[in-house]
Structure 1
Amino acid sequence: MTAQRNVRTTFGFYPPENNEAAWQSSLDTFMAALERGFPDAVLETRVDPLRGMSVVDFDIEVAPEVWVTGSAAMPSPDYAYITLGSVTADEAALFAVWLRDSYVPSPTSVRFISSAAMENGDETPEPLPAVGDAAEVEAVLRSHLVAAGAV
């Protein structure tokens, strides 16, 4: 049996296509949700020098001894995008399940894409499964990486 390669990439999470306001989010509500969901969260707001918008950078412990680093921006009212940098599919899945089940108002309102897919010309985010645990979401993220040629 061959061991599965544990690729690190960036994953982005977005609201549904044609419904940018679906998350009904703001930096304040997102930061409060992170603090509730991840009591040891390290949060820092800053202005993105490239786009001139406010963002929150975060480090959160998604499982014991498993930390992820991300950034969230709300470039216009009620629109969000969140990126996790240099994460594996299993790490991203833990965050994605929290996002889907604990922050966004509907489990069908999250799409995702990876930098691996974007590097190969695929710039269309896919829907995150509306149900399933972290292992099931991880399988979808891994399948996405295989299709992108990253694995």
Structure 2
Amino acid sequence: MTSDNPIRTRFSFAPPVDDALAWNLRLDVLAQAIEEAFPGAWTKAEGRLGPRPSEALSFEIQAVGDAWVEGTATSPIEGAGAVVVDATVQEASVFARWLRDSFIPSPDLIEFSSEFAMNRGDFSTWQLPRTGPAEDIVAALQAHIDAALRL
């Protein structure tokens, strides 16, 4: 159910809860990969972020048309993850597809959720489609938002 006024939210992408170290994420490698994959991308190592020991990387990529999306990736001791901030499903899908197809060791290692769903009481994670074009990822992200709207 897309609309003329799409919902903007924070989408989080992470390895499966039962295999939190599956990505083997190194933020310096992620920064280099983002800069190579997205012309004009900006990355910055942030050092420690939050109350637990973790390293962080801020980034900004061009997503759809003239839209740019900001994000953060963390590599805490017990796992890793990446977040895109204030993004539509179309904008978030650009990063998610690149993450799935070009960076993460296996496409079945990406789960996602959104701040929008969590704010409505849904703390479940959804599996990113393992294959398929960007439209399949857009559809999965939109189905997630639509399910949260029904809560």
Matched residue type, 2:49:
D
Q: Is residue 49 of structure 2 the alignment partner of residue 48 of structure 1?
A: yes
TM-aligned CA deviation for residue 81 of structure 1: 0.9
Query: Normalising to structure 1: TM-score of the pair?
Result: 0.90
| Within-5 A mapping of 1:25-44 | 25-44=25-44
- For 2:146, the equivalent position in structure 1 comes to 146
- For 1:80, the equivalent position in structure 2 comes to 80
- For 2:108, the equivalent position in structure 1 comes to 108
TM-aligned CA deviation for residue 64 of structure 1: 3.9
Residue 64 of structure 2 contacts residue 90 of structure 2 at CA under 8 Å; is this kept in 1? no
TM-aligned CA deviation for residue 49 of structure 1: 4.8
- For 1:58, the equivalent position in structure 2 comes to 59
- For 2:93, the equivalent position in structure 1 comes to 93
Residue 23 of structure 2 contacts residue 104 of structure 2 at CA under 8 Å; is this kept in 1? yes
d(CA) in 2 for partners of 1:4, 1:107:
31
Indicate the structure with greater helix content: 2
Matched residue type, 2:116:
A
Overall identity of the aligned pairs, in %:
36
Change (3 A) 1:40 1:139: same
Between Structure 1 and Structure 2, how many residues are aligned?
Answer: 149
| Structure 1 outlier segments of 4+, above 3 Å | 2-5, 49-52
- For 2:119, the equivalent position in structure 1 comes to 119
Matched residue type, 1:141:
L
Q: What is the DSSP-based 3-state SS (H/G/I as helix, E as strand, rest coil) of the residue aligned with 2:59?
A: strand
Give me the CA root mean square deviation: 2.0
Cα distance per residue 1:96-145 (max 9 Å; x no partner): 10000000011111000011111122212111000111111101111110
d(CA) in 1 for partners of 2:24, 2:53:
21
* Structure 1 unpaired stretches of 5+: none
d(CA) in 1 for partners of 2:81, 2:141:
17
d(CA) in 1 for partners of 2:101, 2:22:
14
Residue 26 of structure 1 contacts residue 80 of structure 1 at CA under 8 Å; is this kept in 2? no
Change (3 A) 1:87 1:3: closer
